[in-house]
């Protein structure tokens, strides 16, 4: 694995995303709502759309009364073509996690710098 420094920790606010080009790979860097960083291949495994073109948000679920509430803020990226939803922490589809997933890369934060690890 090779570690690539990609930005300062404060360069992305929670809920923001950035496209990176590392060793010929197009990688989507995401800062989740809780401030954690995650990196995924910038491709939807369904039909190849760039996930970076879709919205980064959360998941809507019903509370005990049936009212909709937003959970997992900044942890769900949606494909711009067919609205497939992926967990930025795992790269897996929310609806069919065993069938659809995109590659996930390790992210390390050291001394205020964000680095993504990619295979050598």
pLDDT digits (tens, 9 = 90+) for 3-62: 999 999 999 999 999 999 999 999 999 999 999 999 999 999 999 999 999 999 988 889
CA 101 – CA 44 distance, rounded (Å): 8
| CA 22, 27, 31, 36 torsion-angle sign | negative
Helix (H, G, I), strand (E, B) or coil at 9: helix
Enter the pTM of the model: 0.91
Q: How far apart are CA 10 and CA 29, in angstroms?
A: 13
Read off the pLDDT of residues 86-106 as tens digits, 9 standing for 90 and up. 999 999 999 899 999 999 999
Split into its structural domains, the chain has a count of 1
DSSP 8-state code for residue 96: -
DSSP at 93: B
What is the spatial distance between Cα 29 and Cα 116, in angstroms, rounded to a whole number? 9
Would you call 11 helix, strand, or coil by DSSP?
Answer: helix
Domain range spanning residue 95?
A: 2-118
CATH number reported for the structural domain that contains residue 78 in this entry: 2.102.10.10
Q: Using the structure block, give the residue that is written with the tokens 């997933």.
A: 101
* Secondary structure class of 10 (helix, strand, coil): helix
DSSP H or E run through 61: strand 56-62
């Amino acid at each position: 694995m090779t570690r690539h420094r990609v930005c300062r920790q404060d360069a992305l606010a929670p809920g923001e995303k950035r496209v990176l080009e590392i060793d010929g790979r197009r990688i989507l860097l995401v800062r989740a709502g809780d401030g954690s960083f995650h990196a995924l291949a910038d491709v939807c495994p369904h039909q190849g759309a760039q996930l970076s073109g879709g919205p980064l948000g959360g998941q809507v679920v019903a509370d005990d009364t049936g009212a909709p509430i937003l959970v997992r803020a900044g942890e769900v990226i949606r494909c711009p073509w067919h609205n497939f939803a992926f967990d930025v922490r795992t790269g897996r589809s929310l609806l069919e996690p065993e069938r659809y997933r995109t590659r996930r890369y390790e992210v390390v934060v050291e001394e205020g710098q964000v680095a993504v690890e990619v295979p050598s």
